[in-house]
């Protein structure tokens, strides 16, 4: 969840490190820090808060150093305080260390270095490593790191520098935290994610788990931690869609990304239709294998799980196969029963989420076939699966997912359609008809985003309800995961407590929360459960609560059951989720704006969640 960047080359690197950190800030913004290898030794600057706070104190470090590394933190061990900000230096300022990940045996490691006479300056797990280096260094930094590696438990990617070997940065990786190398002309970058250096080079190499990397200006060597043998990795070109992010005239990344949804959905669909025919190249299973599947399990976290829940309904409806969706962090500790006829679909926009990865690994160990749905090419999730289906949303910076959610729903819709076709549940004509409607969705999404009347209505609703203490979201069938997503959006960026419930379940408890100060957001677009939703909304209104409903254009019946209706265009019910979520994203966005909050960097959150 932290972001790391390193540079070794001929150019003064302070600005390169700061710029790299700015591109990694979405991974964590509790504090930031950097260490540069200058003629005088190791120069360090750290600050609590985002990278701009580090920039403000960066005069303290060398302007001419050409080797350096930086870190942006999402706190795991230790409060958000400067003393817990990375990098950490040894007491003699000879070694510097920073890390993304966790040392699970940090209590023992901290005890060990304390017993050896070191004084710890932080409460972190990472700091122990710098003192171990101090004690174990034998004149070869890379080999010292390799010797120490087996003593470090957990999952991590870390970088270290040493004053005595000023021309290099050593990195190491265990388990899923990513580490990628950027190869420039006479310079080398190391980072958690390619966009950190994409303005400088697109030539990349991936550090695999269980490897040490030795980076100098002109050379990069990968060594296996087990025996020190040298490994070769091809130089690849970074994915075009990872363009370095800019707000492009929008006030926030989230707003920009909400408005990028028509393109993201269209791009996700486009590569799947060749001459009007649906293809799921990359799925990693033959049509015969897909026909043989008797069960589907979808796993993911947060927004990705909500996309999976939409997928569950569609796969059952069109694919005709029993489908379950579960939270990856819960599912992985269940004793899930599997056989080779179970298809597991793991959804993760970042491709790094620790719990989703662990669930995939367990599923594969138990014999299931695993397909990943991710937005990041070559990510850990992509590499851990039998097949990969990519969403084409482009880089998403705002911590609250928007375009990646609708792209994931789009991909799950395509997958369900494909299963329906190969399993003989849908005729060729039905697939073609649904496919055509799907391809017209980006235009409908654009219409909603351009709808000035709805925008004004959302402004009015945000003004009226932004100070309320609680929002309840109600939906049924495909409307339920959309409510869950809408409720998550509002709570994560506005900090207003929300709950999302199956409308039929409301009377079994949540109805007790309702009063004349409760806004209730309902997804009540046209479907076979519309009448049932209407009855539930009457139960809500009878308690004096205020109903804000998302309805389908042309169906004015909903107006009799709601105080406010946000109409979205008509499409077939199975495709409605992609339209219905749009007003909920915008409502959350506008409410957070009224409250003066930073929607791109909500408190306590990070864009990638590489801890369990
Ligand atoms: C979404 O708004 C959240 N920030 C969060 O729930 C996110 O969807 C979740 O952490 C999963 O991330 P992933 O898709 O990268 O695995």
DSSP string covering 240-298, please? Answer: TT-PPP--TT-SSHHHHHHHTHHHHHHHHHHTTEETTEE--TT--S-HHHHHH--EEEE
Q: How far is CA 607 from the centre of its chain?
A: 5
* Cβ pair 300, 346 in contact under 8 A: yes
Q: How far is CA 439 from the centre of its chain?
A: 26
User: For the segment 447-470, what is each residue's pLDDT rounded down to a tens digit?
Assistant: 999 999 999 999 999 999 999 999
With a CB cutoff of 8 Å and minimum separation 6, the contacts of 293 are 321, 341, 342, 343, 369
pLDDT of residue 532: 96
Can you give the pLDDT at residue 564?
98
**Atom 6, ligand 1: residue with shortest CA distance:** 302
- pLDDT band for 39, please (50, 70, 90 cuts): confident
- Among 248, 242, 273, smallest CA distance to 260 is for 248
Q: What distance in angstroms lies between residue 301's CA and the mean position of ligand 1's atoms?
A: 6
301 lines ligand 1 (CB under 6 A): yes
Q: Distance from the CA of 455 to the center of ligand 1, in angstroms?
A: 26
Chain centre to alpha carbon of residue 288: 33
The answer, yes or no, to whether residue 486 has pLDDT greater than 70, is yes
Q: Which of 336, 359, 365, 335 is nearest to 347 (CA)?
A: 359
Query: Atom 16, ligand 1: which residue's CA is nearest?
Result: 348
Phi, psi of 110 (to 5 degrees): -65, -40
Q: What is the DSSP letter of 316?
A: I
Q: 343 — phi, psi (to 5°)?
A: -100, 120
Q: What is the rounded CA–CA span in Å between residue 140 and residue 212?
A: 13
% of the chain exceeding 90 in pLDDT: 88
Residue 240 has pLDDT above 70, yes or no: no
CA of 606 to the centre of ligand 1 (A): 9
Cα 176 to middle of ligand 1, angstroms: 16
C-alpha 275 to ligand 1 mean position (Å): 34
Residue 271 has pLDDT above 90, yes or no: no
Cα–Cα distance for residue pair 320/298, rounded to 1 Å = 15
Q: Is 480 in the pocket of ligand 1 (CB under 6 A)?
A: no
Counting ligand 1 atoms within 8 A of each CB, the residue from 192, 303, 305 with the most, and so the one to mutate, is 303
Sign of CA dihedral 103, 105, 109, 111: positive
Q: What's the rounded mean pLDDT across residues 290-310?
A: 97
Q: Please give the structure tokens belonging to residue 547.
A: 């109903």
Residue given tokens 């990069």 in the structure block: 220
In terms of C-beta density within 10 A (0-12 exposed, 13-18 middle, 19 or more buried), how is residue 452 classed?
exposed
**Which residue out of 74, 176, 602, 609 has the highest number of ligand 1 atoms within 8 Å of its CB and is therefore the one to mutate?**
609
Query: How much distance in Å is there from the Cα of 300 to the middle of ligand 1?
Result: 8
Q: How many helices (H) and strands (E) in the chain?
A: 19, 27
Residues 6+ apart with CB under 8 A from 387: 282, 283, 284, 285, 369, 370, 371, 372
Distance 79 CA to ligand 1 centre (A): 23
Q: Is the CB of 66 under 6 A from ligand 1?
A: no
User: If DSSP codes are grouped into helix, strand and coil, which group holds residue 338?
Assistant: coil
For 575, the token pair is: 């495709």
Q: Which atom of ligand 1 is nearest to the CA of 608?
A: 15
Q: What is the pLDDT of residues 165-175, one digit of tens each?
A: 999 999 999 98
Contact 370, 344 (CB under 8 A): yes
Of the ranges 159-163, 240-244, 257-261, which one carries the lowest mean pLDDT score? 240-244
Q: pLDDT per residue over 402-428, tens digit each?
A: 999 999 999 999 999 999 999 999 999
Measured from the Cα of 402, ligand 1's closest atom is 2
The radius of gyration computed from the CA coordinates of the chain, to the nearest angstrom, equals: 25
CA-based max dimension of the chain: 79
**pLDDT band of 177, cuts 50, 70, 90:** confident
CA of 372 to the centre of ligand 1 (A): 15
Backbone angles phi, psi at 225, to 5 degrees: -70, -25
Answer whether 359 contacts ligand 1 (Cβ < 6 A): no
For 390-444, give the DSSP string.
E-------SSS-SHHHHHHHHHHHHHHHHHHHHTTSS-HHHHHHHHHHHHTHHHH
User: For residue 406, which of 338, 346, 482 has the smallest C-alpha distance?
Assistant: 482
Nearest one of 284, 237, 303 to 383, comparing CA atoms: 284
Q: What is the pLDDT of residue 351?
A: 94
- For residue 350, which atom of ligand 1 is closest to its CA? 15
Beta bridge partners of 89: 96
For residue 84, name the pLDDT band (cuts at 50, 70, 90): very high
Kindly state the average pLDDT of the residues 281-288.
95
Q: Is 525 in the pocket of ligand 1 (CB under 6 A)?
A: no
Ligand 1, atom 8, lies closest to the CA of 303
Q: Is 265 in the pocket of ligand 1 (CB under 6 A)?
A: no
How much is the average pLDDT of 473-486? Answer: 98
What's the mean pLDDT in 192-206?
A: 94
Instruction: Give residue 242's pLDDT.
Output: 67
Which of the following is catalytic: 19, 403, 489, 607?
Answer: 607
Asked if the model's pLDDT at residue 324 lies above 70, the reply is yes
Does position 202 have pLDDT exceeding 80, yes or no? yes
Distance from Cα 188 to the centre of ligand 1, integer Å: 31
Residue 518: pLDDT band with limits 50, 70, 90: very high
CA distance 415 to 279: 9
Give yes or no for residue 348 CB within 6 A of ligand 1: yes
- Residue of the nearest CA to atom 15 in ligand 1? 350
353 CB less than 6 Å from ligand 1?
A: yes
Of all atoms in ligand 1, which is nearest to the CA of residue 609? Answer: 10
Tokens 């300022």, located at residue: 93
pLDDT score of 611 more than 90:
no
Q: What average pLDDT is seen over the chain?
A: 95
Atom number, ligand 1, closest to the C-alpha of residue 374: 14
- pLDDT score, position 168: 98
Catalytic annotation present for 13: no
Residue nearest to atom 4 of ligand 1 (CA): 400
The answer, yes or no, to whether any atom of ligand 1 lies below 6 A from the CB of 374, is no
For residue 520, whether the previous peptide bond is cis, meaning omega lies within 30 degrees of 0, is: no
610 CA → ligand 1 middle, Å = 11
Instruction: Give the whole-angstrom CA distance, residue 324 versus residue 295.
Output: 8
- CA-nearest of 301, 274, 550 to 408 is 301
Q: State yes or no: is 2 an active-site residue.
A: yes
Mutate to test the pocket of ligand 1, among 349, 401, 403, 409 (most ligand atoms within 8 A of CB): 401
> 349 C-alpha vs ligand 1 centroid, how far in Å?
7
Angle at 305 between CA 527 and CA 505, to 5 degrees: 50
Beta-bridge mates of residue 432 = none
* Ligand 1 center–CA 299 separation, angstroms: 12
Atom of ligand 1 nearest to the CA of 300: 16
Ligand 1 contacts CB of residue 609 (under 6 A)? yes
What is the spatial order of strands in the sheet that 41-48 belongs to?
A: 41-48, 31-38, 67-73, 3-8, 188-191, 180-183, 203-206, 236-237
In a mutational test of the pocket of ligand 1, which residue from 258, 300, 304, 411 has the highest number of ligand atoms less than 8 Å from its CB? 304
Position 585 confidence tier, pLDDT thresholds 50, 70, 90: very high
Nearest to 25 by CA among 92, 95, 85, 72: 72
How far apart CA 421 and CA 411 sit, in angstroms, is 15
For ligand 1, pick from 193, 254, 298, 301 the residue to mutate: most ligand atoms within 8 Å of CB. Answer: 301
33-to-26, 204, 419, 486 alpha-carbon distances in Å: 15, 24, 49, 35
Let me know: does 77 contact 124? Beta carbons within 8 Å.
yes
Q: How many CB atoms lie within 10 A of CB 191?
A: 30
What's residue 457's pLDDT? 98
Of 462, 460, 461, 487, nearest in space to 473 by CA: 487
User: Looking at residue 605, what is its pLDDT?
Assistant: 87
Between CA 493 and CA 51 the distance in angstroms is: 20
Q: Which two tokens stand for residue 162?
A: 């040493």
Q: Is the CB of 307 under 6 A from ligand 1?
A: no
Report pLDDT digits (tens) over 106-117: 999 999 999 999
Assess whether the C-beta atom of 610 lies below 6 angstroms from ligand 1.
no
């Amino acid at each position: 969840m932290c972001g790391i960047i390193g540079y070794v080359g001929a150019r003064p690197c302070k600005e390169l490190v700061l710029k790299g950190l700015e591109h990694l800030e979405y991974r964590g913004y509790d504090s930031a820090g950097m260490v540069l290898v200058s003629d005088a030794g190791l120069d360090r600057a750290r600050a609590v808060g985002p990278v701009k706070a580090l920039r403000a104190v960066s005069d303290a470090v060398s302007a001419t150093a050409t080797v350096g590394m930086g870190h942006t933190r999402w706190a795991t061990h230790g409060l958000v305080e400067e003393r817990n900000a990375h990098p950490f230096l040894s007491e003699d300022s000879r070694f510097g260390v920073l890390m993304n990940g966790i040392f699970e045996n940090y209590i023992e490691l901290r005890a060990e270095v304390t017993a050896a006479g070191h004084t710890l300056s932080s409460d972190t797990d990472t700091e122990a490593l710098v003192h171990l280096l101090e004690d174990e260094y034998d004149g070869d930094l890379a080999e010292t790191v390799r010797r120490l590696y087996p003593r470090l438990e957990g999952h991590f990617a870390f970088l270290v520098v040493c004053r005595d070997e000023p021309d290099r940065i050593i990195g190491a990786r265990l388990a899923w935290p990513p580490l990628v190398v950027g190869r420039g002309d006479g310079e080398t970058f190391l980072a958690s994610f390619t966009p950190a250096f994409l303005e400088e080079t697109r030539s990349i190499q991936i550090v695999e788990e269980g490897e040490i990397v030795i980076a100098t200006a002109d050379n990069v060597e990968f060594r296996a931690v087990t025996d020190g043998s040298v490994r070769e990795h091809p130089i690849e070109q970074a994915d075009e869609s990872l363009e370095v992010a800019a707000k492009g005239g929008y006030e926030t990344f989230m707003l920009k990304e909400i408005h990028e949804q028509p393109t993201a959905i269209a791009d996700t669909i486009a590569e799947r239709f060749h001459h009007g025919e649906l293809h799921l190249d990359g799925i990693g299973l033959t049509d015969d294998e897909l026909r043989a599947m008797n069960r589907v399990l979808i796993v993911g976290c947060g927004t990705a799980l909500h996309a999976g829940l939409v997928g569950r309904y569609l796969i059952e409806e069109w694919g005709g196969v029993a489908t379950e969706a579960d939270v990856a962090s819960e599912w992985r500790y269940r004793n899930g029963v599997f056989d080779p006829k179970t298809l597991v679909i793991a959804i993760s926009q970042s491709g790094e989420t620790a719990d989703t990865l662990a669930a995939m690994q367990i599923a594969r160990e138990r014999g299931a076939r695993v397909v990943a749905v991710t937005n990041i090419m070559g990510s850990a999730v992509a590499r851990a699966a039998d097949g990969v289906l990519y969403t084409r949303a482009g880089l998403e910076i705002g911590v609250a997912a928007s375009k990646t959610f609708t792209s994931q729903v789009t991909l799950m819709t395509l997958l369900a359609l494909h299963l329906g076709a190969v399993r003989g549940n849908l005729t060729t004509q039905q697939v073609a008809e649904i496919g055509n409607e799907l391809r017209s969705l980006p235009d409908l999404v654009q219409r909603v985003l351009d709808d000035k009347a709805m925008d004004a209505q959302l402004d009015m609703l945000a003004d009226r309800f932004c100070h309320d203490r609680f929002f309840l979201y109600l939906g049924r069938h495909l409307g339920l995961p959309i409510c869950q997503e809408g409720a998550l959006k509002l709570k994560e960026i506005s900090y207003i407590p929300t709950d999302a419930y199956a409308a039929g379940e409301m009377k079994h408890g949540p109805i007790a929360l309702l009063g004349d100060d409760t806004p209730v957001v309902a997804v009540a677009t046209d479907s076979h459960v519309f009448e049932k939703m209407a009855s539930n909304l009457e139960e809500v209104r009878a308690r004096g609560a205020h109903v804000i409903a998302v309805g389908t254009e042309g169906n004015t019946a909903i107006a009799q059951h709601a105080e406010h209706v946000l109409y979205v265009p008509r499409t077939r019910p199975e495709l409605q989720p992609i339209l219905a979520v749009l007003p909920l994203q915008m409502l959350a966005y506008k409410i957070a704006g009224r409250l003066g909050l930073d929607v791109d960097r909500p408190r306590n959150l990070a864009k990638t969640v590489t801890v369990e």
